Amino acid sequence: MKKVISLVLATMLALVLTACGAKETTQENPAPAAEETSVSAPVETPASAATAESVADQAEETSATEGGVLVAYFSATGTTKGVAERLANAVGGDLYEIVPAEPYSDADLNWHDSNSRATKEQDDKSARPGIASETLDLSSYTTIYVGFPIWWGEEPRIMDTFVESYDFSGKTMIPFCTSGSSGIGSSGRNMEELTVGAQWLDGSRFGGSVSEDELRAWADGLQ
């Protein structure tokens, strides 16, 4: 009988020891590898790499459009147009022509006639000739050259229409004019008074035959 009891006790002890060993093994086992991966930094897949590249491209395109240069000009006879085109090439800028809603005829530009259209406009500082050009989007420009011929010692009144038509806040404005001999005079200051928040630099006068290299040197000297 004692042998039977001893055998039963030995069997029960073995079962208890086995259960304890199994419990200790379960507690020591580390978390599954899959769970470790779930808390690690994500691995870049080809798709995410493509997305990152796309974002980089968009950032590059944005930086390329920021800080753009615009050359806006009014030209009644073509002289200022030629200078503006060469200036745009010299500074790598875009061109924008200020087209009058009512074109100027030779009679309109006759400065010997006190009744000519241009004479009357220049005598009236409140005159604002209409503009037929498409509306400008200035969001990508930070520097704007403003070109015009000198009429009766000042900017044509259509230039006043232009600067009053847009918000040039934060833009750098650089006037330039063409004439046979007259300087730019008060034209830049006149237009500056019609804008808010723009930085106006001193302007210059050019003859119609000014070269692209001369214009580039002038523009570089402004910086």
Alpha carbon of residue 8 to chain centroid: 91
* DSSP output for 84-117: HHHHHHHHT-EEEE--BSSPPPTTTT-TT-TTSH
Q: Of 139, 221, 151, nearest to 186 (Cα)?
A: 151
Condensed to tens digits (0 to 9), the pLDDT of residues 45-66 reads 344 444 444 434 443 443 334 5
Q: So what's the pLDDT on residue 66?
A: 54
Domain residue spans of the chain? 65-222
Q: So what's the pLDDT on residue 98?
A: 98
CA-to-CA distance for 166 and 196, rounded, in angstroms?
10
Backbone φ, ψ for residue 37 (5° rounding): -65, -35
* Section 60-80 average pLDDT: 78
- What mean pLDDT is reported for the chain? 80
Backbone φ, ψ for residue 128 (5° rounding): -135, 85
CB environment 2-39: b (16+ within 10 A), e (fewer)? eeeeeeeeeeeeeeeeeeeeeeeeeeeeeeeeeeeeee
**Structure tokens, 55:** 């974002």
**Strand, helix or coil for residue 71:** strand
Q: So what's the pLDDT on residue 67?
A: 74
* Section 80-95 average pLDDT: 98
Q: So what's the pLDDT on residue 44?
A: 40
Query: Regarding predicted confidence, which is higher, 189 or 42?
Result: 189
Q: Of 208, 220, 179, 184, nearest to 83 (Cα)?
A: 208
Condensed to tens digits (0 to 9), the pLDDT of residues 127-172 reads 999 999 999 999 999 999 999 999 999 999 999 999 999 999 999 9
Query: Hey, what's the torsion of the CAs at 64, 67, 68, 69, to 10 degrees?
Result: -150
Q: So what's the pLDDT on residue 180?
A: 86
Structural contact between residues 69 and 143, judged by C-beta atoms closer than 8 angstroms: yes
Residue 218 predicted with pLDDT over 80: yes
The architecture (CATH level 2) of 65-222 comes to 3-Layer(aba) Sandwich (3.40)
Residue 23 predicted with pLDDT over 50: no
